[in-house]
Structure 1
Amino acid sequence: MNLVGQVLKGRRERLGMTLAELEHQTHIKRQTLRVIEDNDFEALNNANYAEGLITKYANAVNFDADQLIEAHREEIPSYQNSINASIQAFKQDEKPTYRSKSKEALQLLVVICGVVIITAIIWILAVLIF
């Protein structure tokens, strides 16, 4: 099966609808309609709206929205696959990128402790001498 966007675009073109007519009918901006037709759902402000947009578009061109939603879900990487990939990364002792920390805080703490210790030593020497 073709990608969801290609199916919708082909259906719209067979019906002879322009993007302007579809925009008026669905109340979806023309730029968003192009994103859908290009099957570039990551370009949407919120990719979670993709199914709703697909449904609106499909209903406007008299196409089965449920079939397209199912195809869309098959096109995107599944949540379970990403979990399995993360588990495999941990098993292989690969550090995940989100866990790498900057050492700036530790360096700052060492400098502050050094300044406090030197200040304390100078104060003690000043008290003993005077």
Structure 2
Amino acid sequence: MERVGQVLKGRRERLGMTLSELEKQTEIKRHTLRLIEDNDFEALSNPHYSEGLISKYANAVNFDAEHLIEAHRQEIPNQDQTILSTIKAFKREDTPTYRSKNNEAIQLLVVTCGIVIITAIIWILAVIIF
């Protein structure tokens, strides 16, 4: 069975359309059209838009978009397991090791105290000398 991208590319080529013509007609960038034709939907900036892109492309080459969208859904791996494993990974109780305590407040306090002490010493010396 041909993949969705191959079907669309074959249809475009049979119609004699160039990628430039298709880009103007669909208003989809040429790079994105190539990714669709290569069936590389994961490389899209947002893979969740793939069904809309397939629909636009299919309509431009006079092909049944619903048939291709259904075929695309069958091509992609089971998303439910991926989503569940991601949720499970973020629900872990142990804290990540890369987090460290933020010391900005302490550093600001030390610098402020230092400035106050230096200012006080200069003021005392100015009062004693004059």
Report Cα offsets for 1:74-128 as digits up to 9, x if no partner.
11112234367x4xxx8xxxxx58847217659xxxxxxxxxxxxxxxxxxxxxx
The answer for unaligned runs of 5 or more in structure 1 is: 91-95, 107-130
Pairwise mapping of residues 93-108 of structure 1 onto structure 2 (< 5 A)? 96=89, 99=92, 101-102=96-97, 105=100
1:22 match: 22
1:73 match: 73
Q: TM-score, normalised by structure 1?
A: 0.65
**Corresponding pairs, count:** 100
Question: What is the rounded CA distance, in whole Å, between the counterparts of 1:103 and 1:56 in structure 2?
Answer: 43
Report Cα offsets for 1:56-87 as digits up to 9, x if no partner.
00000010000100011111112234367x4x
Question: What is the rounded CA distance, in whole Å, between the counterparts of 2:98 and 2:22 in structure 1?
Answer: 54
2:42 match: 42
Which amino acid is the alignment partner of residue 43 of structure 1? A
Q: TM-score, normalised by structure 2?
A: 0.65
**Structure label with greater radius of gyration:** 2
- SS of 2:62's equivalent in the other structure is coil
- The alignment yields a C-alpha RMSD, in angstroms, of 2.7
Which amino acid is the alignment partner of residue 34 of structure 1? R
- SS of 1:72's equivalent in the other structure is helix
* Residues 7 and 105 of structure 1: CA distance in aligned 2, closer, same or farther (over 3 Å): same
